[in-house]
Amino acid sequence: MTMSKPNWQALINEKRAFRESQIPLEWRLDEMITSQAHRDNPISAFDLLDQTDILTQHERDMTENYDATALLAQLACGAISSLEVTEAFCKRAAIAHQLFNPLTEIFFDKALNRAKQLDAFLAREGKPMGPFHGLPISLKDTWMVKGEAATLGFVAYLTKPVAEENSPIVDILLDGGAVLYCKTNVPQGLFTLEGENNVFGLTMNPHKLTLGTGGSSSGEGALVGFRGSPLGLGTDIGGSIRVPSHVSGCYGFKPTANRIPFAGQQFHFRKGWPGMLPSAGPHANSARDLMFFCRTIISKEGWKRDSASLAIPWKDVRKKKLKIGFWQGAHETPVFPPVLRALRKAAEVLEAAGHEIVPVSTPEGAGTSQCLNIYVHSLGFDTKATLMKFLDDAEEEILPGMKDFRNLMADIPKSTLDDVWKFYADRADFRTAWHTKFTDADIDVLLCPCHQGTGMPHSGYGLPIYAMIWNLLDCPASVVPFLRSNKNVDSEKIEGFDTDAVDGAPTHVQVVGWSFRDEEVLMATEVISDALEKFSVTNL
């Protein structure tokens, strides 16, 4: 089954050539621009975009000044056509791709055809096809779209046939009138925090190309953050939606596991893991888009298509004044100045807006080290190291993130059956400790960091412990972009923090609720986002 290195390089070259061929010539950027787009240039892709006029003013307006909800309102009444919206996002995604490499599969042609059909449907029927009518939606590479590949950046997967069926959620999107146009990049092995693999290369951060995009929904976060997509579908088992969202300055939401259908993705991990529960969820450019996506998908009763999906109907909850727990992180994992500043400013703004802020301390025995300890042990359950096998099968070069992952795994003793018991017992204790914090303070949501820092220089993100906690507890959690790193203000010296390197990177807050309270977290995310946006607009 192993293939020699020369062979894999040829396969990669072929795949990349195919990918580039999917970008129409008229959307190709001038070499003067693309020559600036590389990992060592601390430039913003937004600034590079300003150097081209491939996008018309109307296309810039549609992609920059509307969220998905606003676009859908226009699409549903025919005020704008699906074709013009789709073309705008295809073009912007094409530009994004040439600037920071977020895409894996590109199928703009199919998308434009589909958009025409949807426009014809609206004209003919006098009503939209469904709640996603005419809207382009991007997908993490793991999702299956009939006729498209899903290689996950594994060289060994390059020879797999294209998908014969859609993932159940992809069917729901299509039934609802969505337009699919591209799939997006992931880290090698999907368990690391840098959007790079041997097949598709490195995805860079649109806000500063020297920074990483996090993982594992790396390309989704970057594409949506650049507004090359109005709505993206990712997955999150340890921060994989929230990390790429916060580093690229967009919104992201990890629901309670299996509230959004997760089934039917490309296989990349041994079947039957008795460890963490993964979630599917959205990347977006507004809090209300997160809400819209989840409400719409859940209302489509995915549990009839996916045997693991939970038959829990959507529940509408009203906006209200919130009681917000405020956790500034654990001493053992200090939060870096820009994120801490954003977090404190957010608490201040929210309090001024009439919400109650309740300080919450780290529960005893349930801080970041214990989270990491429990989480990492569950990764060790795969004594067959399936993940590494995909790489070894193709004699792939192991990239830095995956080397770190392998070293982390090498440090833990070989797992036994007793370790699974210990994992379940430790997780239950961890859960009780945090449950007590939530119930004693009687909070609606917890405001906290999603990471120590912002997006970090390539391969330097570190472990996403502040995201992983909520996977370990299966709690719904969103990230909201708020403010940016500023080297003139964020000057405190902390190990691992380089204020110059991250200057200008988006900062964020994380909003967390107890398990199954997805609707409440989404409502709170909207309420919090409204207050923070009002502050940001006033203080531009």
Q: Which residues bind its own copies (CB under 8 A)?
A: 270-274, 303-305, 307-308, 310-313, 315, 381-383, 415-426, 428, 431-432, 434-436, 439, 514-517
**Contact criterion met (CB below 8 Å) for 266 and 242:** no
Nearer to its own copies, 272 or 354 (CB): 272
Q: What's the rounded Cα separation, in Å, for the pair 334 and 328? A: 9
Report the side by side order of strands in the sheet with 251-254.
103-106, 179-184, 136-140, 231-236, 279-284, 251-254, 477-484, 506-512, 445-448, 323-326, 356-359
**Contact criterion met (CB below 8 Å) for 358 and 326:** yes
Nearer to its own copies, 431 or 487 (CB): 431
**Contact criterion met (CB below 8 Å) for 268 and 287:** no
Say if residue 190 carries a ligand binding annotation. yes
Shortest CA distance to 200 belongs to which of 188, 189, 191, 182? Answer: 188
State in angstroms the smallest separation of the CB of 309 from its own copies. Answer: 9
307 is catalytic: no
Q: What's the rounded Cα separation, in Å, for the pair 249 and 509? A: 11
| Cα–Cα distance list, 106 to 110, 138, 141, 162, 209 (Å) | 9, 10, 11, 13, 22
State in angstroms the smallest separation of the CB of 437 from its own copies. Answer: 11
Q: How many CB atoms lie within 10 A of CB 383?
A: 10
Q: What phi, psi does 347 have (nearest 5°)? A: -60, -40
State in angstroms the smallest separation of the CB of 382 from its own copies. Answer: 8
Nearer to its own copies, 490 or 520 (CB): 520
Cα angle value 20/388/15 (rounded, 5°): 15
* Catalytic entry in 167, 218, 240, 485: 240
State in angstroms the smallest separation of the CB of 236 from its own copies. Answer: 19
218 is catalytic: no
Say if residue 237 carries a ligand binding annotation. yes
Residue 120 CB partners (closer than 8 Å, separation 6+): none
Residue with tokens 């693991």: 308
Q: What's the rounded Cα separation, in Å, for the pair 69 and 359? A: 34
State in angstroms the smallest separation of the CB of 472 from its own copies. Answer: 13
Q: What's the rounded Cα separation, in Å, for the pair 183 and 106? A: 7
506, β-bridge pairs: 484
Three-state helix/strand/coil letters over 35-71: CCCCCCCCCCHHHHHCCCCCCCHHHHHHHHCCCHHHH
Nearer to its own copies, 428 or 489 (CB): 428
* Catalytic entry in 140, 208, 254, 345: 140
Say if residue 238 carries a ligand binding annotation. yes
Say if residue 239 carries a ligand binding annotation. yes
**Contact criterion met (CB below 8 Å) for 89 and 230:** yes
State in angstroms the smallest separation of the CB of 178 from its own copies. Answer: 23
State in angstroms the smallest separation of the CB of 367 from its own copies. Answer: 17
160, β-bridge pairs: none
* Catalytic entry in 44, 81, 138, 216: 216
Nearer to its own copies, 119 or 382 (CB): 382
**Contact criterion met (CB below 8 Å) for 203 and 213:** yes
Nearer to its own copies, 320 or 403 (CB): 320
Nearer to its own copies, 92 or 377 (CB): 377
State in angstroms the smallest separation of the CB of 173 from its own copies. Answer: 19
Nearer to its own copies, 18 or 424 (CB): 424
146 is catalytic: no
Task: Indicate the annotated binding residues for substrate.
Answer: 190, 216, 237-240
Task: Indicate the annotated binding residues.
Answer: 190, 216, 237-240
Hey, which residues are catalytic here?
A: 140, 216, 240
